[in-house]
Amino acid sequence: MRKRKVPLRMCISCKQMRPKQELVRIVRSKEGNIDIDLNGKKPGRGAYICYAQDCLDNLKNSNVLASTFKQRIDERIYEQIQKLLNEGDINI
């Protein structure tokens, strides 16, 4: 098997380093809009969390996303991640 260097990113919820493709990227644009970045291409400041229910729950309860982006996080963002988790679609 061919070895490839996998870029690692830290989950802001559990603080573990994981391959980028196992994480959901959340991005804040210059305008201050927070969004889920499904293909990792959106410009702006990014944060990552695992595709895991525990990490999402912890993220919701801990307010860590709000402190990362220094602004209030719309409930909609968590709902979108929840939807992704429910669909189990990690090959995006």
43-82 residues in contact with Zn ion (CB under 5 A) are: 50, 55
Q: Which stretch binds Zn ion (CB under 5 A): 5-13, 29-37, 71-79, 80-88?
A: 5-13
Neighbours of 39 (CB within 10 A): 7
The one-character DSSP state at 11 is B
Any alpha helices (H) in the chain, and if so which ranges?
53-62, 64-69, 75-87
Q: How far is the CB of 1 from Zn ion (least distance, A)?
A: 26
Q: How far is the CB of 49 from Zn ion (least distance, A)?
A: 6
Q: Which of residues 11, 24, 34, 56 is near Zn ion by CB under 5 A? A: 11
How far is Cα 92 from Cα 87, in angstroms, rounded to an integer? Answer: 12
Q: Which residues bind Zn ion (CB under 5 A)?
A: 11, 13-14, 50, 55
